[in-house]
Chain A
């Protein structure tokens, strides 16, 4: 309300409607109260703005009035734009229309043809590419088997590979851990290292309950690789820990990175844990390393419905199984490595050291 009174006062002041006494007190107020003074200045400016605006609007309407009136009375005439382009347009309207439609049709035709053919072409390309990839893989696999047969005949003749998986040494003398489901029901197991060398081996222990299997390389060509670069971790792992995997989802060793997602496995299974990493058939039995290069688990399954949900058996299972295996006097001297010698290396170096101890497991 005070604001309104002030506005009223300002307007009356500007219009000079104030009595001398009122004017004096108003001036006094302005002098004593800078806030009021500021408001007066601001409002004065605003009123001027409105005034100018009013002028401008009124003048514009006069202009418009005059314009229409003079147009009607014929004092001014609206000149037609005499741009030459328009004249040309009028003259050649028909020709141009025909030309334009021909151009349009041609463009459409070409565009249509282009999309039609290019689509077909890319479609075929993708198809072929896929087939080629498949054939290549098949060929490569055959090649490997063939050369192997020619060179060493380590695999049984004319028997296709039943399952392929991954395994890794837990003892340099040639004890490999893999998943029981990789070697399940097979008569012969051949392992192949990252260089492509194959070694005959024998299953020495399987446990379908824990899904662990131990195989021993029994091949004259195999030379012990000495102490293992990695240790096997007894303790647990924290959520969010960085980890990496090595495995053979294809004919080549494949590296992947991920993180610890959950401490338990599928349906709360405490023997395993969940990791966030991409894994494919063939990764089964592969080692899961933490960042200091300790084995913390063995990949064994992935959830079908979900992406990147992979389960791994805890490394503790290896210790339990080894205890059982040691009961057999032949294997009494299995030594598990506890400390990783690649702890502070960078990842590339770590992998170079580890890769010799990770094998492809082929069961026939």
Chain B
């Protein structure tokens, strides 16, 4: 990957998120570490509840009030965790932007598209209203919103889902961020629009040299635009590597099982798709040892006794690491493994 020696834009280090609930505490993210370089897109994949979104909401300071965050996340040299809102607001929406899953509800219904884009520009960059509006128009054109001048004065409900997600992206890009976090940006959209939005994100990343975290449960999305991929399970990264490596030759049985459960276009399509047996663990009562152990075909006493740590070069090095006592070594024998 060409970004291998680019400076690290976002460095997340041993991040943990615990929610205090009336029924006790709930560990959503455990020791999450990931470094994203400028111009690089890292896909973060995993099932629902794996802690993908919570990790990055923690970075953004957007978690619910009952969340406790430990560990660190740095944007360049600035640390983000433990700052108060006013300090965070020097970065949020400026150097660090986020787009969300549901474009239907993520825009303010009573403000026009133009107002919502221009707002950040006026607030953070101190532009005049006219300058901000002109920039909002340019952004809308850049994210390929059709009929952009008219859209400026429309309300979100007058736009389609795909258009709204483009507006969300325009808002996120308004102040030229260094890091863009995209939390399932295409999940709520239909397939053709998904492809367009992903292509747009890939283009923007390339043109602007942004670092991008792409949170998704869809390995197809990752294959399309990510450079590296981090696979999460039960709040931890279980496998990290380049997209090519991880998708071609998964080392963690969970990654392998995840890949095996994806429909493939070159498959004859006979028989049901393999599903991963069992259920994701309850974050209140994680199994001892490897969290994936109870669902893993290779699990033995060692797996039940001791949780494997993420072995491999440090996350900043960007090559292969895996948290497994019995990493797979061959290529795609995952189908049999589940």
| Chains A and B are bound partners | no
Name A residues whose Cβ lies closer than 8 Å to a Cβ of B.
none
Name B residues whose Cβ lies closer than 8 Å to a Cβ of A.
none
